[in-house]
Amino acid sequence: MGAPPTEESQRTVSVSGKSGRLLDDRLALAVRVQPGEMEKGDLLMSVHEQIDRYIGSQSPAKSEELRDLHRRILEISPDAKLWFLDGRNDDGKVVSNPNIGYGSETLSYATGDTRAFYKIGLSANTSGISVYVMGLKDKHYLSETYGSRLGKAKITGYCIRFKSVKDIDLGVLEEVVADAMGPGSAGASS
């Protein structure tokens, strides 16, 4: 089995894209840090540090909105497992925007493969912010259940995209998050 994990190894792990392993319930993953991203001597950052750095790297307005959404999600589900994905695949190629994840969901693919992933994702993009709701069985669930009440947002199968939190009803977005994070949530797989 090897030596028991140290406090530091339970805090951080180097992963990229879809690979990684659960180390503890509060600090699920840390991302592989790219050369030049950190001060000399630092090798890895905890998930919390990665999230803080990511949010702080956005424009002041977007940073404030991301920080507020992050706080709201954690208030809804304070014990949620946190994830941070740097948007790179196993080869280090950028394939998506970095994103923050909350909770844990087992996704099943047509090939029969499964993968642990987050339930709710939060990501900045060039036109605003995206909130991802993973594990939905019905790709129309979000738009049919929340679309008419959410405000000015584009809703696709599992993504809610908006320019600013000022454009949406935050109470309805909180309802989306609570529904997805809760046990046996409507529309979500278990």
Task: Give the tens place of pLDDT for each residue, 87-133.
Answer: 999 899 999 999 999 999 898 889 999 999 999 999 999 999 999 99
Q: How far is 65 from 22, CA to CA, in rounded Å?
A: 28
Q: Answer yes or no: are the C-beta atoms of 121 and 134 closer than 8 Å.
A: yes
CA angle 58/100/112 to nearest 5° reads 140
pTM of this structure: 0.73
Torsion of CA 121, 55, 164, 141, to 10 degrees: 0
pLDDT at position 148 is 96
- pLDDT band for position 178 (50/70/90)? very high
Q: How far is 54 from 48, CA to CA, in rounded Å?
A: 10
Helices (H), 77-165: 141-150
pLDDT at position 72 is 96
Q: Which residue has the tokens 């404030």?
A: 64
CA angle 168/156/158 to nearest 5° reads 95
Mean pLDDT of 26-46: 45
- Nearest-CA neighbor of 175 among 151, 157, 154, 156? 151
Q: How far is CA 23 from the centre of its chain?
A: 17
Strands 99-102 and 120-125, by their bridges, are antiparallel
